Structure 1
Amino acid sequence: MAVTELVPNGAEDGSKEKTKAKKRYLKAKKERRKKRKSTTSAPTAAKSRDVTADVDVGSSASSEKDNVEEVVVEVTPPVKEKKAKKEKKRDADGERPRKRRKVQEGDAVNEAPVEIPSSPVASPSRHSSPEPDAANVAATVDDTMDLDALNTPAPEESALPSFPQPTQPAAPSRIELASQGLDTALAQARIIDPTLTSAISLESQDDSSGLSLKTRTRLKELGITELFAVQTTLLPLLLPLDPLKRSLYLPYDPPSDICVSAPTGSGKTLAYVLPIVETLSARVVTRLRALIVLPTRDLVAQVRETLEEVGKGRGLKIGTATGQHSFAHEQSQLIADKSPGLLGGSSKVDILICTPGRLIDHLNGTSNFSLQHLRYLVIDEADRLLAQSFQDWLVRVLAATRPPPEPTTASSPVETDGLPYPDALAPAHTHLLPTISTDIDEPKASSCQKLLFSATLMSDPAKLRALDLRDPQYVILQSAGAGAEASGGVLDVVMEKFSMPSTLSEHMLVCDAARKPLMLFWLVLQHDVRGALVFTKSAESTARLVRLFEFFEAARAVGGKPLVARAYSSDLGAAERKATLEAFKNREIDLLVASDLISRGIDIAHVAHVVSYDVPVDMRKYVHRVGRTARAGRKGDAWTLVEEQEARYFKEMLRGAGRTEAVARVRVSDKQLEPFTGFYTDALQKLREAYAREKAD
């Protein structure tokens, strides 16, 4: 018996309608694609009449793989009639009203009714619902929509705020870094032209320099007819016209401290010797009133010689303390009264010239050695001395010049007859005596005036602050051209752009390390270098170079007079160094080969050439080396032998100091060295043999 399957009439009709709807949909889809192609080919003709909308269409058939279909609706009057017919048909069939959605085309926003066709494989519960035809998929344009609204731009969607890309801040310039922490007084320093001079006149009783007629007469006898720039500037500051300000003690109005930065050979020594001699000549009782601290013994001897020459006939007593003599001998030369308990101290000298190490020894171990009466504290070559931390000498010296805050329990000794012993204290130290204090007593300060001199005055604010300067005044000797730069003369000094004498000519020779001695011999003979200082990096290299030069001259000057070269280094004793230096001053020595021991302060008038056989380690050493020539307005040449591997470093050093263009490069060919090559080879062989014999012994 056959089983008849009953199918509802509505379901059968629905499947037929769905098949027809699918055909209509596919037909409409083809038409839409054709319209899209025609719209793309002629955009200008349909720009004001076409509206494009994207419609999401769900498809289950193999041909309906696109999830989104773009529907092109042509807005024409027939569309309105078709829309009215479709609405009537929808009302007759009882269909629900279609949903409206927003469709965007470019910047236009329209509302269009959209209906998504059902999938062919739908759930059974939806088979009974009528299938939408293909025409219903098209977007409907509202009759009341204004077509001008299609061209109205839509508001842009809100986006995240835009931030600039992070950038690295620009590094501060060297000028800005140098000006940070700069002392206000240093920023207001006096810039002095090195060409400034003033003549010494004997006609008037009173001179603008502040020097007495007796001092000016003595300068004339020494052959000094004019004062250099640093002397012309400092003498009015150190020797004011008011006689009260020249007093030995100024407890209520202490003088200002002065710092001077000037090139070597500019006359700094005479700039502080003249005020010391002029002021201390009025003293009655011998007290230690001037202390001059220097870095080397040779410089101590030179400054003492200057003081003795200028102060001749003034009765001033000058002493030295360098460690060259025994400690007991120096004590006997410095202290007059060794009685215990003297609050004011005792002294046999008015002026003491010393090195810092020996000064500390006397502060620690010499009784009655006192600095309370100091009127002048001179620190020459200040940059080098302040870099030395030996026993904290600077702190100890400054503390010795200041009065202690509390009185001590010591009392002055008394004679056997009961009378008080004559003990003299400086005005700032009188509170140590058992006196009665009152409310009107004014505080008293030390009368010591600190004077700092250097060709390379340091710019470290911490070191300047350690000096405990009182109302300091800074004087910088610099040419007008350098001072006229945008950075200013003060910052040039802070940034170590040192000033050189205008009469100095600088040269550099780049060569191979193996041929550097040969280059030196060529330079000496070719440029007629006589009375020259040759600087090396160590005492050992000094001795080796002198021996090589002697062998070279013995081979070259056969039958003639060879050039004389001598070593001057710390390996020599004090007496031998003094004899060598005197022979060089008397022009008995042609070349003085020295280490950096002599590169500071030594003044030898006839030095016309300075040769740096070894490149200086920094710009400060270079300045002090070349400063041995072109002194006091005389002409001079500075030569630097640079090995090939050192050329870049040396040029960078010069560039940092602003001296690149000032140093001329001298090129020497092999042909120029050829006449001396044979002598140099023989000298090297003899030097090897000499060292071999010494090693065998």
Structure 2
Amino acid sequence: MAILKKISGPPPDAKQSTTKVKTKAKQRYLKRKKERKKTKGKAPVRKGADTDVQVESDDEEAVEEDVEPSDEPDNSPAVAEDETPSSKARKAKKRRKTEAEAPDDDEPMLVDDVVPEAQVPPPPEEKTTSPVALPSFPLPSLPNAPSKLALARQGLDPALLDAEIVDPNTSLTIPSDGEVDGGTYLSQKTRKRLKELGIEELFAVQTALLPFLLGDASQRRLYLPYNPPRDVCASAPTGSGKTLAYVLPIIETLSTRIVTRLRALIVLPTRDLVSQVRETFEAVGKGSGLKIATATGQHSFAHEQAQLVTDKTSKLKGGSSQVDILICTPGRLIDHLNETPNFTLQHLRFLVVDEADRLLAQSFQDWLAQVLAATRPPVHPTSGYELSQEGNLVNLGKTSLCSDAVAPAFLHTFSIPDIPCSITERKEPSCQKLLFSATLTRDPGKLAALDLRQPKYFIVQGGKASKGDDDGILAVGLEKFTMPDKLSEQYVVCSGSQKPLVLFYLIVTHNVRNALIFTKSAESTTRLVRLFTFFEQARAQEDPNAQPIVARSYSSDLSTSERRSILDKFRSQDIQILVCSDLISRGIDISHVSHVVSYDAPVDMRKYVHRVGRTARAGRSGDAWTLVEEQEARYFKSMMKDAEHLDSIKRMKVDSKSLELYTKHYELALEQLRSAYER
């Protein structure tokens, strides 16, 4: 390490100059150092600020001995010449440490402390920290909407992905004579009966279901404890023959029965639909010997009990029944399950839920859970026998297995205890559930409540959708409603005050006869019929040659006998217009209905589908009008657009000049109606 010499001369600010004198020891050290350098080679010399000062380097670890200048003579002892460099180094290191711990401000600057200006690094700049701004976040935005295919798959029953998409134009001609059934799987007797009723061919939903329900001969048996049948869910447009699709398999399967048991149960939402379905069963099953009954509450409860069961005094585990087929409403069915002795559903072979979407949406005392529980054996079985204290097997009286004719699935619950045999093994119920609707629900929660067994779905859907492709999944997952092919749909936007006048204009100018006019309530039905009656009277006074139009109301305010009488007159065309509530919008089949008018716009698409489905049935043509008030127009169009049906319905415009021809008659009718309600 280089030995640095002090700069000669006092600092500029010193008051008195001082002279630095080298000691003898210093001179001897420098002399020896020069001699060593001569032998080892000269080291590079650096020039400092003063040219008189030389900077020498030494390979050994030695440091210059600082001696403060003094005016006194040098009386210090001489350094021994044999002093080793290592000892000098230790002393120098100790001095450096002392100087570092206690620096002297007056100490002169060493040569090595003077650094050329070019080599002096610039002083570090002070960093001025500016205030940091808050981090910026992106503006909120809506996420990308999922695709229709993703929406269709959400919560979808896996069995729906395997649904059979049926073309609505599919049909099958029924052969008249011979043993060949022509692919209908119907017996010769049934085919002959259909010919007598004027039914020449099967529609789409019938051609799909009959092979599935009747194709396998082993599936026609009344009891299938070891190979229970699969359940069926069918969705088809109104008027496509859904009723006949389940009537024919039931008649074919039950016609082989020997003992009368309740083997087919059909649940419907209204009494009128119950009466209509019973007429279909009686017409198709004529000569089969099957006994058919209804339970709707139209008759007394005791009267219905006498028709359903043979014995109400004894308690029979297998029950007793006087009917093979029962058609009922859910409320009355629950009453008989809870209150009628020996009324049981353990022998059921078919459970049909027609208009399933409406029935599943209404509780009716939780009817579905009770009915399904009645078709299964109890969770906690009870034996028909007990052991006495002596160890003998004692019969419990009228709970004998031989006299009860218990269904196979229920045998193990009344068997002899601790005796394994074919009777004691558990068996599956033979009940097959059939669900039908024009707007069958896709709600997974409601479908799960049905406890379907390997369900098979049939969907009558127009277009190119087929099983397995994306269009087929969309048709299944998203509710797409299919309308009859020959249905013409139109809507009229008008003000609420002019709506009755627009209705009368349509009836007169378009010659609307054999029509159903739907309103939102029974009260609206009665009021509209009275207003139309006054309108016809005013029009007849001005034009005596005008043919009068007869209109009647049909609502829940009328008794069952009155509704039946009005329907009979409408079918015979003694009544040209039937003003009704949505009571008649589901299932009722009146063949000659050619026009449907929604006086009050439907609040949802399902209701619209069922209303317009009363016409254009079974391949016939029909017209449907909807009167939409101005404040309802936006919602109505949105509803049609969501159902992808807006392009199929046309807007009809009625100008004020056309209405002026009937304004006078309407004002007279309105005045008479006002007077009638003031009385």
Q: TM-score, normalised by structure 1?
A: 0.75
Which residue, out of 595, 599, 604, partners 2:581?
A: 595
Q: Specify the SS of the correspondent of 1:210.
A: coil
* Structure 2 residue 531 is the aligned partner of structure 1 residue 548: yes
Which residue, out of 256, 268, 275, partners 1:301?
A: 275
* Structure 2 residue 532 is the aligned partner of structure 1 residue 564: no
Name the larger-Rg structure.
2
* Structure 2 residue 305 is the aligned partner of structure 1 residue 337: no
Looking at structure 2, the residues matched to 612 and 576 of structure 1 have their Cα atoms a distance apart, in angstroms, of 23
**Are the aligned partners of 2:161 and 2:467 in contact in 1 as well (CA < 8 Å)?**
no
Q: Specify the SS of the correspondent of 1:537.
A: coil
The CA deviation at 1:11 is: 6.6
Residue 306 of structure 2 aligns with an amino acid whose one-letter code is: S
**Are the aligned partners of 1:206 and 1:212 in contact in 2 as well (CA < 8 Å)?**
no
Residue 692 of structure 1 aligns with an amino acid whose one-letter code is: E
Cross-structure match for 1:22:
none
The CA deviation at 1:337 is: 1.8
The CA deviation at 1:494 is: 3.1
Which residue, out of 627, 635, 641, partners 2:613?
A: 627
- Tell me which of the two structures has the higher relative contact order, counting C-alpha pairs closer than 8 angstroms and 6 or more residues apart: 2
Cα distance change, pair 230–370 in 1 and its aligned pair in 2 (3 A): same
Q: Which moved more, 1:282-291 or 1:430-439?
A: 430-439
Cross-structure match for 2:4:
none
* Structure 2 residue 208 is the aligned partner of structure 1 residue 233: yes
User: Structure 1: which 5+ residue stretches go unaligned?
Assistant: 1-7, 14-86, 97-124, 130-135, 143-161
Cα distance change, pair 691–9 in 1 and its aligned pair in 2 (3 A): closer
**Are the aligned partners of 1:376 and 1:450 in contact in 2 as well (CA < 8 Å)?**
yes
The CA deviation at 1:561 is: 2.7
Cross-structure match for 1:423:
404
The CA deviation at 1:499 is: 1.1
Looking at structure 1, the residues matched to 205 and 670 of structure 2 have their Cα atoms a distance apart, in angstroms, of 48
Looking at structure 2, the residues matched to 334 and 396 of structure 1 have their Cα atoms a distance apart, in angstroms, of 19
* Structure 2 residue 478 is the aligned partner of structure 1 residue 495: yes
Cross-structure match for 1:214:
189
The CA deviation at 1:480 is: 2.6
Q: Which moved more, 1:164-173 or 1:530-539?
A: 164-173
The CA deviation at 1:179 is: 1.0
Which residue, out of 336, 344, 350, partners 2:324?
A: 350
The CA deviation at 1:505 is: 1.2
Which residue, out of 517, 538, 541, partners 1:534?
A: 517
Looking at structure 1, the residues matched to 11 and 449 of structure 2 have their Cα atoms a distance apart, in angstroms, of 114
Q: Specify the SS of the correspondent of 2:459.
A: strand
Offset from partner CA, 1:389-422 (integer Å, 9 cap, x none):
121100000000011244325568869xx99872
The CA deviation at 1:486 is: 7.2
Looking at structure 2, the residues matched to 178 and 474 of structure 1 have their Cα atoms a distance apart, in angstroms, of 16
* Structure 2 residue 490 is the aligned partner of structure 1 residue 507: yes
Cross-structure match for 2:626:
640
Residue 414 of structure 2 aligns with an amino acid whose one-letter code is: L
The CA deviation at 1:590 is: 1.3
Q: Specify the SS of the correspondent of 1:338.
A: coil
The CA deviation at 1:225 is: 0.5
Offset from partner CA, 1:202-235 (integer Å, 9 cap, x none):
2331412210000000000000000001011101
Residue 221 of structure 2 aligns with an amino acid whose one-letter code is: S
Residue 234 of structure 2 aligns with an amino acid whose one-letter code is: V
Residue 678 of structure 2 aligns with an amino acid whose one-letter code is: A
Offset from partner CA, 1:625-677 (integer Å, 9 cap, x none):
11101111111111110000000101111111110101100011111111111
The CA deviation at 1:575 is: 0.5
* Structure 2 residue 158 is the aligned partner of structure 1 residue 176: no
Cα distance change, pair 527–413 in 1 and its aligned pair in 2 (3 A): farther
Residue 438 of structure 2 aligns with an amino acid whose one-letter code is: A
Looking at structure 2, the residues matched to 535 and 482 of structure 1 have their Cα atoms a distance apart, in angstroms, of 33
Looking at structure 1, the residues matched to 611 and 300 of structure 2 have their Cα atoms a distance apart, in angstroms, of 32
Cα distance change, pair 564–577 in 1 and its aligned pair in 2 (3 A): same
Residue 625 of structure 2 aligns with an amino acid whose one-letter code is: W
Q: Specify the SS of the correspondent of 1:368.
A: coil
* Structure 2 residue 259 is the aligned partner of structure 1 residue 285: yes
Q: For 1:12-27, list aligned pairs within 5 A.
A: none
The CA deviation at 1:487 is: 4.3
Q: Specify the SS of the correspondent of 1:400.
A: helix
**Are the aligned partners of 2:312 and 2:340 in contact in 1 as well (CA < 8 Å)?**
no
Q: Specify the SS of the correspondent of 2:458.
A: strand
Q: Specify the SS of the correspondent of 1:557.
A: helix
Looking at structure 1, the residues matched to 329 and 520 of structure 2 have their Cα atoms a distance apart, in angstroms, of 23
Q: For 1:448-487, list aligned pairs within 5 A.
A: 448-481=431-464, 487=470
Residue 422 of structure 1 aligns with an amino acid whose one-letter code is: S
Residue 215 of structure 2 aligns with an amino acid whose one-letter code is: P
Offset from partner CA, 1:67-101 (integer Å, 9 cap, x none):
xxxxxxxxxxxxxxxxxxxx9895449899xxxxx
Offset from partner CA, 1:306-356 (integer Å, 9 cap, x none):
000001111111000000111011001111122422010001100000000
The CA deviation at 1:556 is: 1.0
Q: For 1:107-146, list aligned pairs within 5 A.
A: none
Cα distance change, pair 434–487 in 1 and its aligned pair in 2 (3 A): closer
Which residue, out of 380, 399, 415, partners 1:434?
A: 415
**Are the aligned partners of 2:162 and 2:468 in contact in 1 as well (CA < 8 Å)?**
no
Q: For 1:35-114, list aligned pairs within 5 A.
A: 90-92=49-51
The CA deviation at 1:442 is: 4.8
- Give runs of ≥4 in structure 1 deviating > 6 Å: 93-96, 139-142, 162-167, 418-421
Which residue, out of 594, 611, 620, partners 1:608?
A: 594
Which residue, out of 615, 636, 656, partners 2:642?
A: 656
Residue 616 of structure 1 aligns with an amino acid whose one-letter code is: P
| RMSD of aligned alpha carbons | 3.0
Cross-structure match for 1:40:
none
**Are the aligned partners of 2:401 and 2:414 in contact in 1 as well (CA < 8 Å)?**
no
Looking at structure 1, the residues matched to 120 and 206 of structure 2 have their Cα atoms a distance apart, in angstroms, of 103
Looking at structure 2, the residues matched to 510 and 456 of structure 1 have their Cα atoms a distance apart, in angstroms, of 27
Cα distance change, pair 606–492 in 1 and its aligned pair in 2 (3 A): same
The CA deviation at 1:167 is: 7.8
Looking at structure 1, the residues matched to 667 and 626 of structure 2 have their Cα atoms a distance apart, in angstroms, of 23
Q: Specify the SS of the correspondent of 1:273.
A: helix
Aligned residues: 555
Q: Specify the SS of the correspondent of 1:513.
A: coil
Residue 251 of structure 1 aligns with an amino acid whose one-letter code is: P
Cα distance change, pair 405–91 in 1 and its aligned pair in 2 (3 A): same
Cα distance change, pair 237–595 in 1 and its aligned pair in 2 (3 A): same
Which residue, out of 662, 667, 680, partners 2:666?
A: 680
Residue 412 of structure 2 aligns with an amino acid whose one-letter code is: H
Looking at structure 1, the residues matched to 366 and 255 of structure 2 have their Cα atoms a distance apart, in angstroms, of 32
Residue 573 of structure 2 aligns with an amino acid whose one-letter code is: R
Cross-structure match for 1:369:
343
**Are the aligned partners of 2:213 and 2:219 in contact in 1 as well (CA < 8 Å)?**
no
Looking at structure 2, the residues matched to 468 and 420 of structure 1 have their Cα atoms a distance apart, in angstroms, of 29
Looking at structure 2, the residues matched to 234 and 479 of structure 1 have their Cα atoms a distance apart, in angstroms, of 17
Looking at structure 1, the residues matched to 166 and 469 of structure 2 have their Cα atoms a distance apart, in angstroms, of 17
Which residue, out of 288, 291, 295, partners 1:314?
A: 288
**Are the aligned partners of 1:340 and 1:413 in contact in 2 as well (CA < 8 Å)?**
no
Cross-structure match for 2:353:
379
Q: Which moved more, 1:438-447 or 1:272-281?
A: 438-447
